[in-house]
A and B are shown apart, each in its own frame.
Chain A
Amino acid sequence: MQSPAEIVPHSGGVIGVSWLMIALPLLGAAILLLGGRRTNKWGHFLGVAMSLGAFVVAVLSFMELLGLDPDQRRRGFELFEFIPGMVNLGMLIDPLSISFALLITGVGSLIHIYSVGYMSHDRDRRRFFAYLNLFVAAMLLLVLSDNYVGLFIGWEGVGLASYLLIGFWQHKPSAATAAQKAFIVNRVGDFGLLIGIFTIWTTFGSLAFGDLTHEVTGQASQGTLTAIGLLLLLGACGKSAQLPLQSWLLDAMEGPTPVSALIHAATMVTAGVYLVVRSGAFFEAAPTAQLVVTIVGVATLLAGAIIGCAKDDIKKGLAGSTMSQIGYMMLGAGLGPAGYAFAIGHLITHGFFKANMFLGAGSVMHAMNDEVDMRRYGALFPVMKITAVTFIVGYLAIIGFPLLSGYYTKEGIIETAMHHNAILGWLAVLGAGLTGFYMSRMVFMTFFGKKRWADDAHPHESPAVMTWPLIILAIGSIGLGAFLVLGNRFMTFLSPAVGLPADVPEPHVFGVGPAALATLALVAAGAAFAWFRYGAAQVPALAPRGSFLTTFARRDLYGDALNEALLMRPGQWLTRIAVFFDNRGVDGLVNGLAAGIGGTSGRLRRVQTGYVRSYALSILFGAAAVVGALLYVGNI
């Protein structure tokens, strides 16, 4: 067991200006949003350039970091005082954050480039690039901050970018609703994260990662640590679409496809995993919280896979798969230092192959007049070979075909889980089998079988600006896993940031354990079943009614229905009651008081009869009363 290294104060070098990674895309977003229509012509180029600039800075920082001794590889420096006496904004460049930065800027830049082609017909392309740049800046702020407040600012910043991009086609009510739903569900998670941050502050008196080491957290009570862990997990669940806050992700597919690729597959939704790994000092000290993390991970990986099995919308199918894969990462992150490297590794490889498949799906939609229903696809392989081949590479990677990226990282998570707790392990294996089924189903329905195209569909291969990113991502999907996992390369690299487990697992090439064999067998069975149902057999152009299980999966496991019944409807009632109470109750009381006073005075004024003699009489009585009172007082 080895604890993370201390953070070394840093100055100078490329790392010294690594804040440029955040500043460049932020500047791009600002120019594009403030510049207005004047920037329409070259706006998308600026967006790409800023993203690429951030990528260059990330690569250079990475090189500089590699040049240092491993225990010197956590570099931190302050940018400016944020809230005096509480927290300063600063940067933390360490193996964990730089891995994310490379993924975000690398995959992000590819998606920027792809979007130049994908969005070329949209009159708001400039605004799209502004939001994309804003997203990249916020996501980098999230991972590069050296404290929880900076992380939270980035956390909500990506939420905002996600909101803007899901609702990019805001004239569609469904898109606007999906955007709003995503933001609000995320806010529930943010609430947990906020309270978690409060608890950290009041318990430890600091919010900087550098201060919250294992030895510091070890001093707090178990109850506090568990509470912190669970609260942070709630935040992670919101952002990473884990149960029970998963419902927004499927709706989020209303956004343009590059957005789904970048934000809702490769980067933003993995922020929850980052949070759990970054807060390892709390989770490792609170086994209960860790157990809950793994349970949430396993539950979500199964739920996502089940949903993925029934979707006919290609993007929603991929979204279910994303949920499921993040469930794997969450499971890995809940396993302590042994799982971190696999979780983050799977996160990175997933970033490649899932972005690849989303962009591939986008390419298909581009060719099919924005049709998303896979029942209207079929036999697309011959007409768009590059898209098909790259998609299939991604597909093989995600189902864990031996030697491809996903195989190494996912297998690593499953095996570590198996060591930790056999039930979790076998459930993860089951999930892998389901992945084999639904992904194969998607590939067979889209690229093989018979044509089920709409009459006016004339599919064609996408332009080079869209296919090149696909090719690069496909190469990553093939080789990255082996590169990271073989020789425990990634685990060693990450160890200064997250620590090392007591027993470093033997690096493996094929994974000969029973778990790996079982996984492969189940995946093969799933793929074969998919072939019989959707490859060899005729796929009906309209979805059959299906069994109860199919409906269950199609309706997203009744997640929305549950939310509606438990939260939305009672909430609406509560709102109506509150408004009624405010108008009739509180305000009614006030207005009633006013009306009462008004009524009383209305009656009292009747005394003013206008008869002089009655006034004189009352004066007489008044005078008599005064005299009487004076005499009475005088006599006492």
Chain B
Amino acid sequence: MTTHYLVLSALLFAIGGAGVLIRRNAIVVFMCVELMLNACNLAFVTFARQHGNLDGQLIAFFVMVVAAAEVVIGLAIIVMIFRTRRSASVDNANLLKY
């Protein structure tokens, strides 16, 4: 019964992963990361349903809190980078290397 939900979760995760790898715009990458997180959430909730306990739902809440915190910090960083470098491309921000 729950297989569909899991397949959907996997698809969403794969789309998110592909977006992170392919897209250059930091905002889009960021959104893709959110998509992956939410795919995970879906899988957690599904498993909670499947096993009939609340553990998965509990973790889903944790993930949401973390995601919210991440958005706050991450967006702030992206805005700062855009202001200083006039670009939101992740490939331009490559100073931190060997």
Contact = CB atoms under 8 A, between A and B. Distances in A.
Given A620-B17, A620-B21, A613 B90 contact: yes
Interface in B21-61: 21-22, 24, 29
A38 interface: no
B75 to A, nearest CB: 16
Nearest to B23: A613
Contact of A610 (B22, B29, B97): B97
A616 B24 CA distance: 12
- What is the interface of chain A mostly: helix, strand, loop, or mixed? helix
A617 interface: yes
Interface string A598-609: 000000011111
Contact of A608 (B20, B22, B90, B98): B98
B69 interface: no
A613 B17 CA distance: 11
B94 interface: yes
Contacts of B97: 608-610
A606 B17 contact: no
B20 A613 contact: yes
A612 interface: yes
B20 A616 contact: yes
A573 interface: no
A632 interface: no
Contacts of B98: 605-610
A611 B21 contact: no
B94 A609 contact: yes
B88 to A, nearest CB: 12
The dominant DSSP class at the B interface is: loop
B44 to A, nearest CB: 18
A609 B98 CA distance: 7
B95 interface: yes
Interface in A488-537: none
Contacts of A605: 98
B65 interface: no
Q: How large is the interface on A (under 10, 10 to 19, 20 to 34, 35 or more residues)?
A: 10 to 19
Q: Range of interface residues on chain B? A: 10 to 19
A553 to B, nearest CB: 77
B66 interface: no
A220 B63 CA distance: 92
Interface in A578-636: 605-613, 616-617, 620
B93 interface: yes
A613 B21 contact: yes
A227 B21 CA distance: 85
A612 B91 CA distance: 7
A276 to B, nearest CB: 77
A608 B97 CA distance: 5
A242 B95 CA distance: 80
Interface string B61-98: 00000000000000000000000000000110111111
Contact of A613 (B91, B95, B96): B91
Contacts of B22: 613
A310 to B, nearest CB: 78
Contacts of B95: 610
A611 B20 contact: no
Interface string B1-24: 000000000000000010011101
A620 to B, nearest CB: 6
Nearest to B90: A612
A620 B17 CA distance: 8
Contacts of A606: 98
B61 to A, nearest CB: 24
A613 B23 CA distance: 9
B93 A612 contact: yes
B94 A611 contact: yes
B36 to A, nearest CB: 11
Nearest to A613: B21
A342 B16 CA distance: 112
Among A605, A611, A612, which residue has the most Cβ atoms of chain B within 10 A?
Answer: A612
A419 to B, nearest CB: 93
Contacts of A612: 29, 90-91, 93-94
Nearest to B95: A610
A617 B91 CA distance: 14
Interface string A348-391: 00000000000000000000000000000000000000000000
A609 B21 CA distance: 15
B4 to A, nearest CB: 22
Nearest to A602: B98
B96 A610 contact: yes
B90 to A, nearest CB: 5
A610 B90 CA distance: 10
A606 B97 CA distance: 8
Contacts of A617: 21
Contacts of B96: 610
B74 to A, nearest CB: 12
A102 B95 CA distance: 92
Contacts of A613: 20-22, 24, 29, 90-91
Contacts of B94: 609-612
A617 B24 CA distance: 13
Nearest to A605: B98
A325 to B, nearest CB: 82
A617 B97 CA distance: 16
A606 B24 CA distance: 22
Given A613-B24, A620-B17, 15 more contacts: A605-B98, A607-B98, A608-B97, A609-B94, A609-B97, A610-B96, A610-B97, A610-B98, A611-B91, A612-B29, A612-B94, A613-B29, A616-B20, A616-B21, A620-B21
16 contacts: A608-B97, A608-B98, A609-B94, A609-B98, A610-B94, A610-B97, A610-B98, A611-B94, A612-B93, A612-B94, A613-B22, A613-B29, A613-B90, A613-B91, A616-B20, A620-B17
Q: Which 6 A-B pairs have the closest CB atoms?
A: A610-B97, A610-B94, A605-B98, A608-B98, A612-B90, A608-B97
